[in-house]
Structure 1
């Protein structure tokens, strides 16, 4: 695998993505061989490989490598790429488990892993429970492999301790965020601050802040750089999740992302819903409480919810929150003094994270 390439103008993010994908494929190919040698079920590795191949923006991996460049990383980027690749296995773990807890039907246009496992069991009356259990174990293996891949980055002891400490902190934060999300669904749905707290732990740290810091740690960055990435990463991570919540309910204007039902059926505690409940009149609030969280919610009822979120200004206010956080990110970058190539890449990724449409 070749190292990352950077010139005075730009970091080749497509090349970085190819390098990350190659690192993942090499690692999983070795896992496939090991499974065959030991008589382990071959479909486990293939399930993880299929999940990764289904798409995803690789934004965490890209941010990790860009963070390495921003912190002065130069020359062979292999260590940064391997840390970045480990993040993608971590994401696979988190999303597989998230889909189990939400009983989501699909992920990235394909059946969710627990639904795939359930289908393999055919007419067995225990298929639903066992399928969820099988997916849980696949997700656990993805996390174990993420940590194993992290150990192959070949870092000097001081940097290795910092990288592993940041990775452990990220894992803990995601668990707390997921706990808040699961235990809070359906309670206090009009509390914007509570919804933002879930975003902070479940998304903002793991999606933006920690990946940037992990890349910087590989480069040997100090506290000042880590602080910049916190001030940049948290608002950008919040904006990323706010955009995701809008897309799930309303889709994208060009139709690349169709409106969905999953968040509404789940009764997910989003900022968008909290704003709708806060701003609605008595009739609108009662209608939202009646519809959101119903597993059998249909398109007609979902259209009613969308109309309320539009009429109360919840959708517009969420857009303003995204714009405010994006501007905050630009202000941080203006004063960060990062190398030109890294600054350019971070500004581009900030646009990707806040304005994506699919």
Structure 2
């Protein structure tokens, strides 16, 4: 997922954060290695861009206004993520575009900058940091380990600055802000749509982007700051030390098949031989649902689960495969509610209860903006009302 990043002057935010922290132009200028006139000019330009005063100047020093107090913690966090005072906003934008596109041509298309400008900015960034950030592989580039760490840090820095600017805009009474949601399959059935309907009615000026994908496709962008929160089946916490998982509700997948299937008859026995007699369509082996199926089949048959000929995570594709064959799958009834209601498909409870926990995942230490916090509160509200 490529996001067009604005070019922000990192030094302006460093000047703001230092002045809030020290309350004095003299001490702040010394802290960020700027002259007093340069620091004063940086703050003035930032005030002009934001359209509000960030400080009240007086004999006692520089008193931060509310917008400055909102923005300063975000700026501090961003500067820490960037990790070097020598990095410029242009370099950050160029490197993030290259990291996400995987080539200078793709980055140029995403940003509107020339490939030569991007080359120069990335080369200058490597010199400023004293690190080799990319390796060329023909027309594409691969990030070095140092490049991967820097890309993640820069992405998180931009996420902090976007959040800070949104909070200032909110203080000014402007409808602003953006929430990017990573949605795994089950969350898209009822939980997320109902939450979105309520949220846009209460916060009409806030943009919401939904990025669909599997856990493996979404967890990287979440860690990189491209996605704010991820919805879906929770994972083993031992592998997610840098992420926080909040349970929302429990889902009980069922056996799903075409209407008229031999096992759709309530009188049909769902024992091991019956379940092993038909082909299965299931998600990949690294998903919780597949692990639950493995456990269920081992218990039912007393041996290793049968071979799965078709692995598929698309509910639309699975639906068509079920309708046109005697295949079975394991899915939440909520994901196929329409097909079940009209009698196109049939569902039966699993021979042994299968349960998975669905919830919200976000970065450890993430500080949501007011609209983001309101969205999470609505997710909790909708979950408790049974929209799952």
For normalisation by structure 1, the TM-score amounts to: 0.30
Which one has the bigger strand percentage? 2
More helix by share: 1
Computing the radius of gyration from Cα coordinates, the structure with the larger value is: 2
